[in-house]
A and B are shown apart, each in its own frame.
Chain A
Amino acid sequence: MSAVTATTTKVRPERRRPSPGKVLAWTVTAAMVLITLLPFYWILRTALSSNTALAAHPGDVLPVDPTTGGFERALGLQSTEEAIAQGGSGGGLKFWRYLLNSVIVSTLITVCQILFSAMAAYAFARLRWRGRDTVFGLFLAGLMVPTIFTLLPNFVLIKQLGLLDSLLGISLPTMFMTPFAVFFLRQFFMNVPREVEEAALLDGAGKIRIFFRVMLPMASSPVLTLGVLTYITSWNDYFWPLMVSYSDSSRVLTVALAIFRAQTPQTGYDWSGLMAATLIAALPMLVLFGFFARRIVSTISFTGIK
């Protein structure tokens, strides 16, 4: 019997009675999916409920007393009296503004960081210049410094530059490069066959043009993956923006959310408004990921983005 099963190609598992082990494995998988996705449903269910109904029916699976009040409070569309009546704090939060700030910071960081890191990676992988190995060793050492260590001194630096409470101040430290991005892209440039480059050189293209027309397109998959992950990382960053910004003009979503959570009215948390706000903060990344999911999931075969 085993000889027969061994020769059948593994198109699909045997269709007999599933073994107890398989049943257990599927059960574990189902439980894992449930724990992974339940919070997402719970955000939605809470955001669409009213605070009074939430307190009365904490365990209902469907939204209770469905209302869009939570979203209206999160987006600052309710008057203060109305918000307080519905269990909000009445504190003014301008989520459109924070959303825009988050978009500006993440876009600025991602575009510049990927471009400059790719250029540096190309210089390390393909150009010959005096001091290359020394500079590369320096970058290598930079990998060893945990991001968190440079935050305090960088805060002092940004303060001296007079850029506190500005979107540029939030973006600057990671705008030019991260050692990881440089290494990651260098790996890919090293793997581009030299013949491709030499052929382009003989066709009369300059090295700058080769970089933009040959190297970057050939590394489009890793560049895209790195880009999306960088975007998500900067979008979700909290510690650094918390240090640097202290007014609406430079407040990003993560910081605004934490403030929203701290503005607890006398009656207890405004859970409905809070969940609506988290949904607004999280949704753009879910959509972004939805677009590139296949490519990202297949390219995550490297170490290191925190």
Chain B
Amino acid sequence: MTVASSSPPSHLPPRDVEETAPKRRSVGKRERDGGGSGDGALAALFIGPALLGFLVFLFWPTLRGIYLSFTRFNLLTPAEWVGLDNYRRMVKDPIFWDSLKVTVEYVFINIGVQTVSALAIAVLLQRLTQSAVLRGVVLTPYLMSNVVAGIVWLWMLDTQLGIGNEIIAGLGFDRIPFLADETWAIPTIALINVWRHVGYTALLLFAGLQAIPNDMYEAAKVDGASEWRMFWRITMPLLRPVLAVVLIMTVIGSFQVFDTVAVTTNGGPANATNVLQFYIYGSAFGRFQFGYASAMSVALLVVLSAITILQYRLTRAGRTDLG
């Protein structure tokens, strides 16, 4: 393999006919916009399938989704342009605002509990035990679908037969109708999804913790610092950029909650769990108002884009070692 690296490209076998352009030796230097047509034909072959999929199933649907939000469209007759009608209706629609409120409440509880728990788990995995088995255990709920998680907890939290309420009743308290009560339903669904996702989030944070040199903790220990103090003085400041990225990711995921609601409460009781995505789905497939559903999707897109932009503003200073 020790061939002189100065051998000219003409030594290459004729199979590489794509290499028509004179081969640049400026390895590693970035030229403008990909550096000419060095591997044109070959690149087309390599990028082709992915680019096709991107244009047909991501780029075009995004534009179309925005277009549909300005139309009246029931799927059977062609879409009819109605300008801002859908948006006017949305602003006046009390159910829309209510579902936005419900979604925000869900996101707050879900993200609040999940972030604190994931951080605690990640720190335990870092400072208390290095067990790889435990890391695997933490990830197991992530292997379930939201549908499975929803159904299992629906059973465990059943008012009459669920083990959760058996324990509560055994302790002498009143049974709680977790998923059938307007006040309890959203927090319960938020916690079910924490159960499913917290392990994955914890592992992402754990990856960030791995980047913190152990010497720092050792040195602090010699100085007599407690674990609690080390957490606030070493772990938190150094993990902040990673935490910010993970937080944004989970917030964006959290806003799109749908599956768990669909299999546990179906939006009820009395619209108490009618999260935005559920309302959008009902508008499109229950009432065939695809235009209105698209307008609400655009609203959600705007909210999520705002969150992403905010994140870039906040974390531009600190480059992360993730991603």
Contact = CB atoms under 8 A, between A and B. Distances in A.
A198 interface: yes
Interface stretch (A67-75, A76-84, A88-96, A271-279): A271-279
Contact of B42 (A208, A242, A302): A208
Interface in A122-157: 122-124, 127-135, 138-139, 142, 144-150, 152-157
Interface string A203-231: 11011100100000000000000000000
A248 to B, nearest CB: 18
A132 B33 contact: yes
A175 B53 contact: yes
Interface centre among A54, A147, A297 (most CB of B within 10 A): A297
Interface centre among B44, B218, B226, B263 (most CB of A within 10 A): B263
B62 A150 contact: yes
Contact of A182 (B50, B221, B294): B50
B27 interface: yes
A36 B75 contact: no
Nearest to B121: A32
B82 to A, nearest CB: 17
Contacts of B176: none
B90 interface: no
Contacts of A2: 222, 224
Given A150-B62, A204-B13, A300-B204, A173 B57 contact: yes
B33 A134 contact: yes
A239 B249 CA distance: 19
Contacts of B3: 199, 202-203
Interface extent on B, as a size class? 35 or more
A304 B58 contact: no
A119 B39 contact: no
A306 B134 CA distance: 22
Q: Is the interface of B mostly helix, strand, loop or mixed?
A: helix
Contacts of B1: 199, 203
A29 interface: yes
Interface string B131-173: 0101111111111111111011111101011110011001000
Interface residues of A, number: 111
A294 B132 contact: yes
A257 B150 CA distance: 11
Q: Is the interface of A mostly helix, strand, loop or mixed?
A: helix
Interface stretch (B94-102, B180-188, B297-305): B297-305
A130 B31 CA distance: 10
Nearest to B321: A301
B140 A286 contact: yes
Contacts of B210: 301
A271 B155 contact: yes
Given A35-B195, A37-B140, A146 B151 contact: no
Contacts of B286: none
Contacts of A25: 124, 128
B268 to A, nearest CB: 13
Contacts of B18: 207
B143 A282 contact: yes
Contact of B139 (A138, A282, A297): A297
A26 B134 CA distance: 12
B128 A116 contact: no
B143 A285 contact: yes
Given A149-B297, A176-B53, A303-B245, A257 B58 contact: no
Given A150-B58, A278-B152, 12 more contacts: A29-B134, A37-B140, A127-B38, A129-B37, A157-B56, A176-B56, A236-B145, A285-B143, A297-B135, A297-B136, A297-B139, A303-B204
Interface of B: 1, 3, 5, 7, 11-13, 15-16, 18, 24, 27-28, 31-40, 42-47, 49-54, 56-62, 64-65, 68, 75, 120-121, 124, 128-129, 132, 134-149, 151-156, 158, 160-163, 166-167, 170, 195, 199-200, 203-204, 207, 210, 218, 221-222, 224, 226-228, 245-246, 249, 252-253, 255-256, 258-259, 262-263, 277, 280-281, 284-285, 290, 293-294, 297, 300-301, 304-305, 308, 322-323
18 contacts: A21-B226, A21-B227, A25-B128, A28-B120, A36-B195, A39-B149, A39-B153, A54-B161, A129-B36, A133-B33, A148-B256, A149-B62, A156-B290, A172-B57, A173-B58, A174-B57, A208-B42, A300-B207
